[in-house]
Chain A
Amino acid sequence: MSTTTADYKDRQFLAVIGDEDSVTGLLLAGIGHVTAPPDSQKNFLVVDNKTDNATIEATFERFTTERKDIGIVLINQHVADRIRHRMDTYTAAFPTILEIPSKDHPYDPEKDSVLRRVRRLFGE
Protein backbone atom coordinates (compact mmCIF):
# COMPACT_ATOMS: atom_id res chain seq x y z
CA MET A 1 0.00 0.00 0.00
CA SER A 2 1.90 2.95 -1.25
CA THR A 3 0.81 6.32 0.07
CA THR A 4 1.97 9.84 -0.58
CA THR A 5 2.58 12.59 1.93
CA ALA A 6 -0.32 14.53 0.42
CA ASP A 7 -2.68 11.76 1.57
CA TYR A 8 -2.02 12.46 5.22
CA LYS A 9 -0.42 15.91 5.35
CA ASP A 10 -3.30 17.61 7.18
CA ARG A 11 -4.62 14.64 9.10
CA GLN A 12 -3.80 15.58 12.67
CA PHE A 13 -6.76 14.45 14.76
CA LEU A 14 -7.95 11.19 16.22
CA ALA A 15 -11.74 10.85 16.18
CA VAL A 16 -13.81 8.58 18.38
CA ILE A 17 -17.27 7.02 18.12
CA GLY A 18 -18.21 5.12 21.24
CA ASP A 19 -20.05 4.86 24.49
CA GLU A 20 -19.73 7.62 27.08
CA ASP A 21 -16.93 6.05 29.13
CA SER A 22 -14.86 5.23 26.05
CA VAL A 23 -15.18 8.77 24.78
CA THR A 24 -14.53 10.28 28.22
CA GLY A 25 -11.40 8.18 28.65
CA LEU A 26 -10.00 9.16 25.27
CA LEU A 27 -10.91 12.82 25.68
CA LEU A 28 -9.07 12.78 29.02
CA ALA A 29 -5.98 11.89 26.99
CA GLY A 30 -6.41 15.18 25.11
CA ILE A 31 -7.59 14.08 21.68
CA GLY A 32 -10.92 15.97 21.78
CA HIS A 33 -11.20 18.91 19.42
CA VAL A 34 -13.98 21.28 18.44
CA THR A 35 -13.36 23.37 15.33
CA ALA A 36 -13.82 27.13 15.32
CA PRO A 37 -17.39 28.52 15.18
CA PRO A 38 -19.71 28.71 13.32
CA ASP A 39 -19.04 25.08 12.25
CA SER A 40 -17.99 23.90 15.73
CA GLN A 41 -17.50 20.36 14.50
CA LYS A 42 -16.62 17.82 17.14
CA ASN A 43 -14.30 14.90 16.50
CA PHE A 44 -16.27 12.56 18.75
CA LEU A 45 -19.73 11.04 19.07
CA VAL A 46 -21.15 9.60 22.26
CA VAL A 47 -23.36 6.62 21.40
CA ASP A 48 -26.04 5.40 23.79
CA ASN A 49 -29.18 3.30 23.47
CA LYS A 50 -31.09 6.24 22.04
CA THR A 51 -28.60 6.94 19.25
CA ASP A 52 -29.93 5.54 16.00
CA ASN A 53 -27.84 3.78 13.39
CA ALA A 54 -28.39 6.57 10.86
CA THR A 55 -26.65 9.05 13.19
CA ILE A 56 -23.73 6.67 13.70
CA GLU A 57 -23.42 6.10 9.97
CA ALA A 58 -23.67 9.81 9.18
CA THR A 59 -20.95 10.60 11.74
CA PHE A 60 -18.78 7.81 10.35
CA GLU A 61 -19.25 9.26 6.85
CA ARG A 62 -18.38 12.74 8.09
CA PHE A 63 -15.21 11.56 9.82
CA THR A 64 -14.06 9.35 6.95
CA THR A 65 -15.21 11.18 3.83
CA GLU A 66 -15.94 14.84 4.51
CA ARG A 67 -13.30 15.81 7.03
CA LYS A 68 -9.73 15.83 5.80
CA ASP A 69 -8.15 16.56 9.17
CA ILE A 70 -8.79 13.16 10.76
CA GLY A 71 -6.13 10.44 10.56
CA ILE A 72 -7.52 7.73 12.84
CA VAL A 73 -11.13 6.89 13.67
CA LEU A 74 -11.51 4.89 16.88
CA ILE A 75 -14.83 3.09 17.13
CA ASN A 76 -16.19 0.72 19.76
CA GLN A 77 -16.50 -2.76 18.34
CA HIS A 78 -20.15 -3.08 19.38
CA VAL A 79 -20.92 0.28 17.73
CA ALA A 80 -19.07 -0.84 14.59
CA ASP A 81 -21.32 -3.93 14.54
CA ARG A 82 -24.31 -1.63 14.14
CA ILE A 83 -22.90 -0.26 10.87
CA ARG A 84 -20.98 -3.39 9.89
CA HIS A 85 -22.13 -3.20 6.26
CA ARG A 86 -20.45 0.22 6.01
CA MET A 87 -17.36 -0.89 7.92
CA ASP A 88 -16.83 -3.85 5.61
CA THR A 89 -17.01 -1.75 2.49
CA TYR A 90 -14.61 0.89 3.79
CA THR A 91 -11.28 0.43 2.01
CA ALA A 92 -9.62 3.86 2.05
CA ALA A 93 -6.13 4.11 3.54
CA PHE A 94 -6.97 7.37 5.33
CA PRO A 95 -8.35 7.78 7.84
CA THR A 96 -7.50 4.43 9.38
CA ILE A 97 -10.26 2.71 11.37
CA LEU A 98 -9.42 0.97 14.62
CA GLU A 99 -12.08 -0.98 16.49
CA ILE A 100 -11.63 -0.79 20.24
CA PRO A 101 -13.33 -2.65 23.08
CA SER A 102 -15.80 -0.97 25.40
CA LYS A 103 -16.72 -1.42 29.03
CA ASP A 104 -19.56 -3.86 28.39
CA HIS A 105 -18.22 -5.47 25.24
CA PRO A 106 -14.72 -6.90 25.47
CA TYR A 107 -12.55 -7.20 22.39
CA ASP A 108 -13.64 -10.04 20.12
CA PRO A 109 -10.88 -11.19 17.72
CA GLU A 110 -13.50 -12.92 15.54
CA LYS A 111 -14.92 -9.54 14.60
CA ASP A 112 -11.58 -7.80 14.15
CA SER A 113 -11.27 -6.78 10.50
CA VAL A 114 -7.45 -7.07 10.63
CA LEU A 115 -7.54 -10.64 11.93
CA ARG A 116 -10.21 -11.53 9.39
CA ARG A 117 -7.78 -10.34 6.71
CA VAL A 118 -5.12 -12.60 8.25
CA ARG A 119 -7.43 -15.61 7.98
CA ARG A 120 -8.24 -14.73 4.38
CA LEU A 121 -4.55 -14.57 3.50
CA PHE A 122 -3.97 -18.04 4.90
CA GLY A 123 -6.94 -19.37 2.94
CA GLU A 124 -9.40 -20.02 5.74
Chain B
Amino acid sequence: MAASPGTPADAIDGLLERYLGLVDEYARLRSTLSALQAHVYQAIARANFSAERGIRYGQELYDERMQASRSLAITPGEHDTPKFGVVYHGDKLHGSQGDEKHEAASEAEKEDENQADDEKAKVEKPSDPLKWFGILTPMTLRLAQGKAIEAVEQVIPRLVTLDAEMADVEIRVRRARKKRSKAEAAALKQQQALDSEKAAVEDEAAVDSDKDPETADEKQLASDIEREARTEDEALASKLESTSIS
Protein backbone atom coordinates (compact mmCIF):
# COMPACT_ATOMS: atom_id res chain seq x y z
CA MET B 1 0.00 0.00 0.00
CA ALA B 2 1.55 3.30 -1.04
CA ALA B 3 1.64 5.82 1.80
CA SER B 4 0.31 9.26 1.07
CA PRO B 5 2.11 12.16 2.74
CA GLY B 6 0.98 12.94 6.26
CA THR B 7 -0.45 9.49 7.02
CA PRO B 8 0.75 7.51 10.06
CA ALA B 9 2.42 5.03 7.67
CA ASP B 10 4.36 7.90 6.15
CA ALA B 11 5.48 9.07 9.59
CA ILE B 12 6.64 5.56 10.44
CA ASP B 13 8.55 5.31 7.15
CA GLY B 14 10.30 8.60 7.91
CA LEU B 15 11.25 7.44 11.41
CA LEU B 16 12.49 4.08 10.15
CA GLU B 17 14.58 5.80 7.49
CA ARG B 18 16.22 7.90 10.18
CA TYR B 19 16.64 4.84 12.38
CA LEU B 20 18.40 2.89 9.63
CA GLY B 21 20.78 5.80 9.15
CA LEU B 22 21.60 5.69 12.86
CA VAL B 23 22.06 1.89 12.77
CA ASP B 24 24.44 2.28 9.84
CA GLU B 25 26.52 4.89 11.68
CA TYR B 26 26.48 2.73 14.81
CA ALA B 27 27.79 -0.30 12.89
CA ARG B 28 30.55 1.79 11.31
CA LEU B 29 31.62 3.26 14.65
CA ARG B 30 31.57 -0.19 16.19
CA SER B 31 34.09 -1.45 13.66
CA THR B 32 36.19 1.71 14.16
CA LEU B 33 36.19 1.09 17.91
CA SER B 34 37.16 -2.55 17.42
CA ALA B 35 40.04 -1.53 15.15
CA LEU B 36 41.27 1.14 17.59
CA GLN B 37 41.13 -1.24 20.53
CA ALA B 38 42.95 -3.92 18.56
CA HIS B 39 45.74 -1.36 18.00
CA VAL B 40 45.78 -0.55 21.72
CA TYR B 41 46.04 -4.22 22.74
CA GLN B 42 48.72 -4.89 20.18
CA ALA B 43 50.75 -1.88 21.32
CA ILE B 44 50.44 -2.86 25.00
CA ALA B 45 51.48 -6.43 24.15
CA ARG B 46 54.54 -5.11 22.30
CA ALA B 47 55.41 -2.82 25.19
CA ASN B 48 55.14 -5.72 27.64
CA PHE B 49 57.20 -7.92 25.36
CA SER B 50 60.04 -5.42 25.17
CA ALA B 51 59.87 -4.35 28.81
CA GLU B 52 62.97 -4.73 30.93
CA ARG B 53 63.29 -6.96 33.95
CA GLY B 54 59.87 -8.51 33.43
CA ILE B 55 57.96 -5.27 33.97
CA ARG B 56 54.33 -5.54 33.01
CA TYR B 57 52.45 -2.39 32.09
CA GLY B 58 49.35 -3.12 34.09
CA GLN B 59 47.48 -2.53 37.33
CA GLU B 60 50.56 -2.96 39.52
CA LEU B 61 51.87 0.35 38.23
CA TYR B 62 48.66 2.40 38.32
CA ASP B 63 48.77 5.60 40.36
CA GLU B 64 46.55 5.12 43.41
CA ARG B 65 45.70 8.84 43.46
CA MET B 66 44.95 9.22 39.77
CA GLN B 67 42.72 12.08 38.64
CA ALA B 68 40.76 12.05 35.41
CA SER B 69 42.15 14.34 32.72
CA ARG B 70 39.33 13.50 30.34
CA SER B 71 35.80 13.82 31.56
CA LEU B 72 32.31 13.77 30.17
CA ALA B 73 30.38 16.79 28.97
CA ILE B 74 26.73 15.85 28.51
CA THR B 75 24.52 18.40 26.79
CA PRO B 76 20.93 18.28 25.57
CA GLY B 77 20.84 17.13 21.98
CA GLU B 78 18.18 16.67 19.32
CA HIS B 79 14.69 15.67 20.59
CA ASP B 80 15.88 16.09 24.22
CA THR B 81 18.21 13.12 23.93
CA PRO B 82 21.55 13.59 25.69
CA LYS B 83 24.60 14.37 23.60
CA PHE B 84 27.83 13.00 25.03
CA GLY B 85 31.20 14.61 24.61
CA VAL B 86 34.60 14.17 26.22
CA VAL B 87 36.68 17.16 27.23
CA TYR B 88 40.32 17.32 28.12
CA HIS B 89 41.26 19.45 31.10
CA GLY B 90 44.53 17.93 32.10
CA ASP B 91 46.41 21.19 32.45
CA LYS B 92 43.80 23.54 33.86
CA LEU B 93 41.75 21.50 36.33
CA HIS B 94 41.54 23.03 39.83
CA GLY B 95 43.77 25.86 38.60
CA SER B 96 42.05 29.26 38.81
CA GLN B 97 39.09 28.37 41.04
CA GLY B 98 40.79 29.42 44.28
CA ASP B 99 41.60 32.99 43.17
CA GLU B 100 37.99 33.88 42.34
CA LYS B 101 36.68 32.69 45.69
CA HIS B 102 38.77 34.92 47.90
CA GLU B 103 38.75 38.36 46.30
CA ALA B 104 37.58 40.11 49.46
CA ALA B 105 40.23 38.61 51.68
CA SER B 106 43.21 40.59 52.88
CA GLU B 107 46.55 40.45 51.09
CA ALA B 108 48.20 38.19 53.66
CA GLU B 109 45.27 35.84 53.78
CA LYS B 110 45.17 35.87 50.02
CA GLU B 111 48.79 34.86 49.77
CA ASP B 112 48.31 32.08 52.28
CA GLU B 113 45.25 30.78 50.50
CA ASN B 114 46.88 31.00 47.11
CA GLN B 115 49.78 29.02 48.47
CA ALA B 116 47.35 26.44 49.86
CA ASP B 117 45.50 26.32 46.54
CA ASP B 118 48.75 25.86 44.70
CA GLU B 119 49.61 22.93 46.93
CA LYS B 120 46.16 21.47 46.45
CA ALA B 121 46.41 21.92 42.70
CA LYS B 122 49.82 20.27 42.76
CA VAL B 123 48.35 17.26 44.53
CA GLU B 124 45.14 17.01 42.49
CA LYS B 125 46.44 18.02 39.09
CA PRO B 126 45.95 15.08 36.75
CA SER B 127 49.23 13.83 35.49
CA ASP B 128 49.91 12.08 32.22
CA PRO B 129 49.10 8.39 32.86
CA LEU B 130 52.22 7.46 30.88
CA LYS B 131 54.27 8.74 33.82
CA TRP B 132 52.90 5.96 36.04
CA PHE B 133 55.00 3.56 34.03
CA GLY B 134 58.28 5.45 34.36
CA ILE B 135 60.09 8.33 32.71
CA LEU B 136 61.25 6.51 29.64
CA THR B 137 58.14 4.77 28.48
CA PRO B 138 58.34 2.82 25.22
CA MET B 139 57.01 4.30 22.00
CA THR B 140 54.50 1.47 21.70
CA LEU B 141 52.85 2.57 24.94
CA ARG B 142 52.59 6.12 23.57
CA LEU B 143 51.00 4.65 20.46
CA ALA B 144 48.53 2.75 22.65
CA GLN B 145 47.73 5.98 24.46
CA GLY B 146 47.12 7.84 21.18
CA LYS B 147 44.69 5.20 19.92
CA ALA B 148 42.93 5.00 23.29
CA ILE B 149 42.50 8.80 23.32
CA GLU B 150 41.02 8.65 19.82
CA ALA B 151 38.54 5.99 20.99
CA VAL B 152 37.61 7.89 24.15
CA GLU B 153 37.30 11.31 22.54
CA GLN B 154 35.75 10.52 19.18
CA VAL B 155 34.17 7.08 19.05
CA ILE B 156 32.78 6.22 22.50
CA PRO B 157 30.83 9.49 23.05
CA ARG B 158 29.29 9.26 19.58
CA LEU B 159 28.36 5.60 20.11
CA VAL B 160 26.49 6.31 23.35
CA THR B 161 24.84 9.37 21.78
CA LEU B 162 23.66 7.16 18.92
CA ASP B 163 22.39 4.62 21.43
CA ALA B 164 20.27 7.31 23.10
CA GLU B 165 19.03 8.64 19.74
CA MET B 166 18.12 5.13 18.57
CA ALA B 167 16.23 4.46 21.80
CA ASP B 168 14.31 7.71 21.24
CA VAL B 169 13.41 6.78 17.64
CA GLU B 170 12.34 3.30 18.79
CA ILE B 171 9.88 4.87 21.21
CA ARG B 172 8.56 7.18 18.46
CA VAL B 173 8.15 4.27 16.01
CA ARG B 174 6.25 2.21 18.59
CA ARG B 175 3.99 5.18 19.37
CA ALA B 176 3.35 5.79 15.65
CA ARG B 177 2.60 2.09 15.10
CA LYS B 178 0.18 2.08 18.01
CA LYS B 179 -1.49 5.21 16.66
CA ARG B 180 -1.76 3.62 13.21
CA SER B 181 -3.26 0.39 14.54
CA LYS B 182 -5.75 2.40 16.59
CA ALA B 183 -6.70 4.42 13.50
CA GLU B 184 -7.05 1.21 11.48
CA ALA B 185 -9.24 -0.35 14.16
CA ALA B 186 -11.43 2.78 14.26
CA ALA B 187 -11.70 2.81 10.45
CA LEU B 188 -12.63 -0.89 10.44
CA LYS B 189 -15.28 -0.31 13.09
CA GLN B 190 -16.69 2.62 11.10
CA GLN B 191 -16.72 0.54 7.93
CA GLN B 192 -18.51 -2.28 9.71
CA ALA B 193 -21.08 0.18 11.06
CA LEU B 194 -21.61 1.59 7.56
CA ASP B 195 -21.93 -1.89 6.08
CA SER B 196 -24.50 -2.97 8.66
CA GLU B 197 -26.46 0.26 8.12
CA LYS B 198 -26.40 -0.31 4.37
CA ALA B 199 -27.50 -3.89 4.83
CA ALA B 200 -30.39 -2.77 7.02
CA VAL B 201 -31.53 -0.24 4.39
CA GLU B 202 -31.33 -2.91 1.69
CA ASP B 203 -33.35 -5.35 3.80
CA GLU B 204 -36.04 -2.73 4.33
CA ALA B 205 -36.17 -2.01 0.63
CA ALA B 206 -36.46 -5.71 -0.10
CA VAL B 207 -39.38 -6.05 2.32
CA ASP B 208 -41.15 -3.09 0.66
CA SER B 209 -40.70 -4.51 -2.82
CA ASP B 210 -42.04 -7.87 -1.59
CA LYS B 211 -45.16 -6.17 -0.24
CA ASP B 212 -46.00 -4.21 -3.45
CA PRO B 213 -46.70 -7.17 -5.78
CA GLU B 214 -49.26 -8.48 -3.31
CA THR B 215 -51.25 -5.25 -3.32
CA ALA B 216 -50.99 -5.08 -7.10
CA ASP B 217 -52.45 -8.53 -7.39
CA GLU B 218 -55.21 -7.66 -5.00
CA LYS B 219 -56.00 -4.49 -6.99
CA GLN B 220 -55.94 -6.49 -10.24
CA LEU B 221 -58.30 -9.04 -8.78
CA ALA B 222 -60.68 -6.34 -7.52
CA SER B 223 -60.73 -4.58 -10.88
CA ASP B 224 -61.31 -7.91 -12.67
CA ILE B 225 -64.23 -8.69 -10.40
CA GLU B 226 -65.65 -5.20 -10.94
CA ARG B 227 -65.23 -5.52 -14.70
CA GLU B 228 -66.93 -8.93 -14.71
CA ALA B 229 -69.80 -7.57 -12.60
CA ARG B 230 -70.18 -4.63 -14.94
CA THR B 231 -70.25 -6.91 -18.02
CA GLU B 232 -72.81 -9.13 -16.38
CA ASP B 233 -74.96 -6.07 -15.50
CA GLU B 234 -74.73 -4.79 -19.07
CA ALA B 235 -75.64 -8.20 -20.49
CA LEU B 236 -78.62 -8.45 -18.17
CA ALA B 237 -79.76 -4.91 -19.05
CA SER B 238 -79.54 -5.59 -22.81
CA LYS B 239 -81.42 -8.86 -22.31
CA LEU B 240 -84.18 -7.08 -20.41
CA GLU B 241 -84.34 -4.43 -23.08
CA SER B 242 -84.71 -6.94 -25.89
CA THR B 243 -87.40 -8.81 -24.01
CA SER B 244 -89.40 -5.61 -23.40
CA ILE B 245 -89.17 -4.63 -27.11
CA SER B 246 -90.38 -8.02 -28.20
The interface bits of chain B over 34-78 (1 if a CB of A lies within 8 angstroms of the residue's CB, else 0) are 100100110011000000000001110011111111111110100
Instruction: Verify A3–B80 contact, CB threshold 8 A.
Output: yes
Residues of A within 8 A of B (CB): 1-3, 5, 7-8, 11-14, 20-34, 40, 43, 46, 71-72, 74, 93-94, 96, 98, 100-103, 106-107, 109, 112, 114-115, 117-118, 121
- B: residues with CB less than 8 A from A are 19, 23, 26-27, 30, 33-34, 37, 40-41, 44-45, 57-59, 62-74, 76, 79-82, 84, 86, 88, 90, 126, 128-130, 141, 144-145, 147-149, 151-153, 156-157, 159-160, 163-164, 166-168, 170-171, 173-174
Separation in Å of the A39 CB from the closest CB of chain B? 13
Instruction: Give the Cβ gap from B191 to chain A, nearest Cβ, in Å.
Output: 26
B164 touches A25 (CB 8 A): no
Residues of chain A within 8 A (CB-CB) of B37 are 22, 25, 100-102
Kindly identify which residue among A5, A32, A46 contacts B68, using a CB–CB cutoff of 8 Å: A32
Assembled-state Cα–Cα distance A74/B70 (Å): 15
A30 B74 Cβ-Cβ under 8 A: no
Select the residue from B82, B144, B174 with max chain A CB neighbours within 10 A: B82
A residues less than 8 Å from B168 (CB atoms): 1
Q: Is the CB of B82 within 8 A of A3?
A: yes
Interface of A is mostly: mixed
A29 to B72, CA, bound (A): 13
Report A-chain residues with C-beta under 8 Å of the C-beta of B63. 32
B contact residues around A93 at 8 Å (CB) = 82, 164
Contact A98 B129, beta carbon cutoff 8 Å: no
CB-CB under 8 A from B64, the residues of chain A are 34, 40
Q: Are B84 and A28 in contact (CB under 8 A)?
A: no
Cα(A103)–Cα(B58), bound, Å: 14
14 contacts between A and B (CB under 8 A): A14-B71, A22-B41, A28-B141, A28-B148, A29-B70, A29-B153, A30-B88, A72-B84, A74-B156, A98-B163, A103-B45, A107-B33, A114-B163, A118-B166
